Amino acid sequence: MGKHGSLLAIFVLCVLLSVPVLTIFSSIFDSSDGVWQHLVDTLLWSYIVQSLQLMLGVGVLVLLLGVAPAWLVTMTRFPGSRWLEWALVLPLAMPAYIIAYTYTGMLDVAGPVQGFIRDTFDLRFGDYWFPQIRSTGGAITMLSLVLYPYIYLLSRMAFLEQSVCVLEVSRTLGANPWQAFSRVAVPLARPAIMAGLALVLMETLADYGTVQYFGISSFTAGIFRTWFGMGSATAAAQLSAVLMLFILVLVIAEQWSRNRARYHHTSTRYSQLPQLKLTGWKMAGALVYCLVPVLFGFIIPFLQLAWWAWDTRALVDFSAFSQLIINSLRLAFTAALIALILGMFISYAKRLQPGMPMRTATRILGLGYAVPGTVIAVGVLIPFAWFDNSLDAWMRAQFGISTGLLMSGTLIAVVFAYIVRFLPVAMNTMDAGLGKIKPSMDDAGRSMGLGPFQILRRIHIPMLKGSLLTAALLVFVDVLKELPATLILRPFNFNTLAIRTYELANQERLTEAAASALMIVLAGIIPVIIISLSISASRPGHDKRT
Amino acid sequence: MRKLFLSMFAVSALAAGLSAGCTAQAAEVNVYSGREENLIKPVLDRFTAHTGIKVNLITAGADELTTRLELEGANSPADLLLTVDVGRLLRAKEMGLLQAVDSDVLESQIPAQYRDSEGEWFGVSLRSRVVVYDKERVNPAQLSTYEDLADPKWKGKICIRSSSNIYNQSMTAAMISHHGVEETEAWAKGLVANFARQPQGGDRDQIAAVAIGQCELAIVNTYYLAGMINATSAEQREQASKVAVFWPNQQDRGAHINISGAGLSAHAPNRSEAIQLLEFLVSDESQTWYAEANNEFPVRAGVPVSATLQSWGEFKADSLPLEQLGIHNAEAVRVMDRAGWR
């Protein structure tokens, strides 16, 4: 198979993986019996406003929580900075709906914190002011606390990969460290930060668990209300299609605003980073700034979960529980591996052939991340069931054999849905990495007679090790946390940690749900720490340190 | 490292294939359940112990399962669809996903009001949506009906969860069935005007809010309060002790009732096993278990209920045929949207 054959194969693969997204889009042409009129008359506008508020709030907060700490732990030294380097990633292991349950349990009117205030000061409800956790502000905080690590990871990777020369030049031109950060390092890291922000905003839009629990009428909440409450699956799919169009516009606008700027490394000179040792109030400020996200995004909710789990330990059935752990890990591992391989080929094909068809195909594919998991699951269910039933009908007609449902209701369908949903995470990470490798490296490879696959294997993969590992582990952690697609598509008698957690929490048994929630977090911590460490090690020229 | 990756991949692929491959051998029955695993598995295990029929289970939201059943079509492995709300059963029936069952056991044991007139779905347990009030601050003599909760005297005093919740949709659907759309919309507007706070959280959260004084009344399903009364957490038990149950509309139509129920899938591959399981769900043994473990009311008369439920006394249930709740569900959502019930 020549270069064109491989590219064609990858293109076909992209199209195949886009089937669920396209299935949802195709609903636009169906009629939905006046549901739209009703939505326009009542809630559509508030869905849009709520979702925009969420996006804006989360967008600003994750940038505040993610970019500066990444810069501080990369470029400076202060007590605890080594530890914070990887600890800042930990909230990634915490599913948004679980952090929402946990903080609600603590901070709600009937929770221990407000109870303590009432008992201590002998107050009744209404006598004192306390922030309302179940509010738009609360949802923004919860989502930001678990999503900022995307920004942190990608911007840290970018800062690490920046050549020190650029910063040195900026210093010789009279810039102080703050200017070096704000006027050189951040603008250079823009593709990475934007890739992270895109992931965060898509995940914010797709979130259902948190908004539903907080009673917020976001666009996604509206999709489900329309589907379940009014029984209109068509209108719900149409709303999802609108959501995807909106994302598409954002993505294109961002790329267009970058115009023709490219962000390759311009120098091959890497020396060890000159880490500035902070002292005095600067040291204290840096420490507090970096500690806040870890404390609220991980340590506090983790301790609360551990406390609840300990309280309800008598109710845990350990043999059933270990099966849940195995199931969760097996799915996460399989999906991560497949996403790694597919993501690498697709990102690379896009680099080789940046033409219109490939760009369009990958862009459509990328939308999967913004769609609520339940909707993706239906997008997977439709083509799979169609294929199975058509095959069955054909086999019956030809050979009198019934093949039944071959793939629907198997783990293949579940993993397929994961890939559709999470491949964009892998691709975004790899694109950001690949974008920094100068095309002249490819040219050099070609001039030495290497084919595209050899260039990939001998030049790009070694240079991208960090990005590849990060991509795979991000998918791994995402799958561990994934709930809705697993719930709908899974085979009989098959459960995961996320499902167990959700089922108990759904019955309003938060303390009993804590044990499985804690396991999801614990299983996610190890890959998260590996991601962190591998990024430190992925710095070009890292080996020369010794 | 690479070998390790590859072998792990091969193992997981193989395992996926195996779990997909193993199907029908011994007698079995496949259940799509809208009721969570821990609330249904114990009964299913007893069924297996009695009959030797293996039960395969998938749990998820009833809407998702209905969609899956519809898309899988004639080849769907599902035999039974279990839901915790009658509206979903009715929707499945309308979509042609269920088939009629002709069973003397089911017809004699389940009152006609709690099963489909054409035999396509059957109620297996009951729950009522009642008013829970603050024992200190509310004089129960002031309480009377659901309709009365829209009266301005309750301004800023009522807690209830979101209208996205199916139990509120069913309650509003019942109101439409009794009073029509216009009157129900006026009622919903009055109720919304009486909210102590924007709807949020689940039913237990509403009870807790009454207990700490954020509101005086809450509208909740009976088993949530029963669950709090018998909770492992001392805090929940204390909250539950501060409130009492009021059965609304005892002078006229009776308290609003919903069911958890089941229907036989239109293309059930294991029809006779599925009917056996349906019949088992209304047996003395299962009905007692529902009443004891889940604090739901048995669908059959004469089955003893838990001590907690007994303590709330006898009550008059709304005799509205439950089909009505399904018929008016979508309209109920629209009414609540227009009333600004979040």
Secondary structure (DSSP) of B211-236: HTTS-SEEEEEHHHHHHHHT-S-HHH
What is the pLDDT averaged over residues B128-154? 93
- H or E element: which one contains B263? strand B256-265
A494 to chain B, any CB pair closer than 8 A? The answer is: yes
State the number of CA atoms in the 13 A half-sphere of A314 facing the CB: 2
* Chain A hits for B239, Cβ within 8 Å: 110
Residue A10 lies in a domain: no
3-state DSSP assignment of residue A88: coil
Number of domains composing chain A: 1
Range of the domain at A125: 20-266+274-541
- A488/chain B closest Cα distance in angstroms: 6
3-state DSSP assignment of residue A495: coil
Task: Give the CA distances from residue B243 to residues B131, B234, B306, in Å, rounded to whole numbers and listed in that order.
Answer: 10, 15, 19
**pLDDT surpasses 60 at B219:** yes
CA–CA separation, B128 and B320 (whole Å) = 13
Which of B8, B59, B329 minimises the CB distance to A503? B59
CA–CA separation, B304 and A61 (whole Å) = 55
* Other C-beta atoms lying within 10 Å of the C-beta of residue A282: 14
- A528/chain B closest Cα distance in angstroms: 18
CA–CA separation, A500 and A546 (whole Å) = 48
Q: Encoding tokens for residue A543?
A: 């080996």
Residue found under tokens 């020229």: A541
Between A32 and B240, the more confident residue is: B240
Judge contact between A358 and A350, C-beta under 8 A. Answer: yes
Model pLDDT for residues A313-338, shown as the tens digit of each residue: 887 778 888 899 999 999 999 999 99
Residue found under tokens 């659901």: B146
* Beta carbons of B36 and A506 less than 8 Å apart: yes
CA–CA separation, A221 and A205 (whole Å) = 10
* Chain B hits for A110, Cβ within 8 Å: 205, 208-209, 211-212, 239
Q: Encoding tokens for residue B305?
A: 């209920």
ipTM: 0.84
Residues with Cβ within 8 Å of residue A286, at least 6 apart in sequence? A72, A76, A78, A81, A278
- B72/chain A closest Cα distance in angstroms: 5
Q: What pLDDT score was predicted for residue B22? A: 45
Topology adopted by domain B27-126+258-307: D-Maltodextrin-Binding Protein; domain 2 (3.40.190)
**pLDDT surpasses 80 at A540:** no
**pLDDT surpasses 90 at B245:** yes
Q: What pLDDT score was predicted for residue B171? A: 95
Model pLDDT for residues A96-111, shown as the tens digit of each residue: 989 998 999 888 877 8
Which of A333, A337, A508 minimises the CB distance to B204? A508
Domain ranges of chain B: 27-126+258-307, 128-256+317-339
CA–CA separation, A76 and B107 (whole Å) = 77
- A58/chain B closest Cα distance in angstroms: 21
Apex A460 CA angle, A454 and A464, nearest 5: 145
Residue A389 lies in a domain: yes
Identical fold at B27-126+258-307 and B128-256+317-339? Answer: yes
Between B76 and A212, the more confident residue is: B76
Q: Encoding tokens for residue B268?
A: 């059930």
CA–CA separation, A143 and A231 (whole Å) = 29
φ, ψ of residue A343 in degrees (nearest 5): -60, -40
Q: How far is CA B75 from the centre of its chain?
A: 28
Q: What pLDDT score was predicted for residue A65? A: 95
Residues with Cβ within 8 Å of residue A13, at least 6 apart in sequence? A342, A345, A346
* Beta carbons of A126 and B71 less than 8 Å apart: no
Task: Give the CA distances from residue B95 to residues B75, B80, B225, in Å, rounded to whole numbers and listed in that order.
Answer: 16, 15, 35
3-state DSSP assignment of residue A392: helix
Which of B68, B212, B342 minimises the CB distance to A110? B212
Residues 384-413 of chain A whose Cβ lies under 8 A from any Cβ of chain B: 385, 388-389, 392, 402, 404-405, 407-412
3-state DSSP assignment of residue A231: coil
**pLDDT surpasses 80 at B23:** no
Q: Encoding tokens for residue A300?
A: 């506090």
pTM over 0.90: no
Residue type, A527: P
Q: Which CATH number is A440's domain given? A: 1.10.3720.10
Burial of B8 (0-12, 13-18, 19+ CB in 10 A): middle
* Beta carbons of B337 and A374 less than 8 Å apart: no
Q: What pLDDT score was predicted for residue A271? A: 57
Residue type, B325: L
Task: Give the CA distances from residue A276 to residues A158, A160, A164, A188, B292, in Å, rounded to whole numbers and listed in that order.
Answer: 18, 15, 13, 20, 66
Residue found under tokens 């309750």: B154
* Other C-beta atoms lying within 10 Å of the C-beta of residue A103: 22
Model pLDDT for residues A497-518, shown as the tens digit of each residue: 999 998 888 877 888 889 999 9
Region for B142 from its dihedrals, namely left if φ exceeds 0, alpha if ψ lies in -120 to 50, beta otherwise = alpha
Q: Which CATH class is domain B128-256+317-339?
A: alpha beta
Least confident of A6-20, A176-190, B28-42, B234-248: A176-190
* Other C-beta atoms lying within 10 Å of the C-beta of residue A122: 7
Model pLDDT for residues A283-306, shown as the tens digit of each residue: 899 999 999 999 999 999 999 999
DSSP conformational letter for A457? I
**pLDDT surpasses 50 at B6:** no
Q: What pLDDT score was predicted for residue B24? A: 43
Q: How far is CA A339 from the centre of its chain?
A: 13
Q: Encoding tokens for residue A203?
A: 């995940």
Q: Encoding tokens for residue A204?
A: 């914010």
**DSSP string for residues in B174-197:** HHHHHH-HHHHHHHHHHHHHTBSS
DSSP conformational letter for B198? -
Alpha-carbon Rg for chain B, nearest whole angstrom, is 22
Model pLDDT for residues B72-123, shown as the tens digit of each residue: 999 999 999 999 989 889 889 989 999 999 999 999 999 998 999 999 999 9
Nearest CA in chain A to B59: A487
